[in-house]
Amino acid sequence: MQETDQKYRIFQAIGKSFYMTTDYFKFFLKLSGIFALAMSALSFIFLQSFGCLVSGVQDKIVCGENVAGYVAYIVLKFFMVAVFLRVWADKIYLKKDITLIYFKESGLRFVKFFGVFAVFLVLNVVPFLSLYLLIIRTPNPIWQIEILYFFVVSLGFFVPFVLMRFYANIGLWIEGSGFSDFKKTYLQTNFQTSMILTAFKVFLAFCLFLFLVLQGYLKHSVFEPLFLYNILAEYVFEWVLLFVASIMFNFIMIQKDMLPAED
């Protein structure tokens, strides 16, 4: 019975994450349309458009090579994604009216959310840092130090798996309840790690598949004039990025609803 219930919860987590976006698809189209346009403009301003990734196109357009400019571009782009998700949450989950007054009064809210969003992203890329440190390391002749280094660095691979158990805290914070007690959330998610991990694997596979197919299609659909192709390709890519971001965000938000009731 427990196994059947767990399977149901997995399908519930996956299904609800998708239909929260499709149920509000009209609003999503409006919001994503505006933000995809702004993110596309940002890419062209910093000379980081989609065409810079396409062989045969990158040699015919101007692409930025300044490291500082690229870092600034990434930070600003993630800030736009964070603002998009904050607006999405306020409309879909908090039922707020999205007006010009809303944007004027939400500056601090956007900055705070970006801070949480940035920490979330950094913690999720820790495994890649661990992998990099293991690849570039020079083996130490003292085997005790070598084992200790390998053990400490390898801990980074487990960070996202631990983080999954606290997704509910993010949802509670967004709804204004503050961050729940982390020990309490950890205990509440006992025996649910496999459910969260399975659902996360499905989302990750979906995202990778979607981006690989999209990237392959756009790279093999080059047309003249290149300027028009670059604009359309960049816009489509940014729109799909926001679509995936909304679904992943929905998955995080519903974790709080899937916590078992307290005794």
pLDDT tens per residue across span 65-122: 888 999 999 999 999 999 999 999 999 999 999 998 999 989 999 999 999 899 888 8
pTM: 0.84
CB-based contacts of 58: which residues, under 8 Å, 6+ apart?
Answer: 51, 52
Q: How many CB atoms lie within 10 A of CB 83?
A: 21
Buried b (16+ CB within 10 A) or exposed e, 202-240: bbeeebeeeeeebbeebbeeeeeebeebbbebbbbbbbb
- Tell me how far CA of residue 84 lies from CA of 28, 33, 71, 75, 206, in angstroms: 10, 11, 20, 14, 21
Q: How far apart are CA 36 and CA 263, in angstroms?
A: 45
In a domain, 137, yes or no: no
pLDDT tens per residue across span 139-162: 778 878 888 888 888 888 888 877
In a domain, 141, yes or no: no
Among 36-50, 128-142, 178-192, 200-214, the range of highest mean pLDDT: 36-50
In a domain, 143, yes or no: no
Q: Which residue has the tokens 């995809």?
A: 36
pLDDT value of position 29: 95
Domains in the chain: how many in total? 1
- Own/partner long-range contacts of 87-90 (Cβ < 8 Å, ≥24 apart): 87/31, 88/28, 88/31, 88/246, 88/249, 89/174, 89/249, 89/253
Q: Give percent of the chain with pLDDT exceeding 90.
A: 32
Q: Reduced to 3 states, what is the DSSP secondary structure of residue 33?
A: helix
pLDDT value of position 191: 59
Tell me the mean pLDDT in the region 197-202.
79
pLDDT value of position 26: 92
Tell me: pLDDT of 1 over 50: no
In a domain, 150, yes or no: no
In a domain, 140, yes or no: no
pLDDT value of position 157: 83
The confidence band for 2, taking pLDDT boundaries of 50, 70 and 90, is very low
Domain span at 14: 2-127+158-258
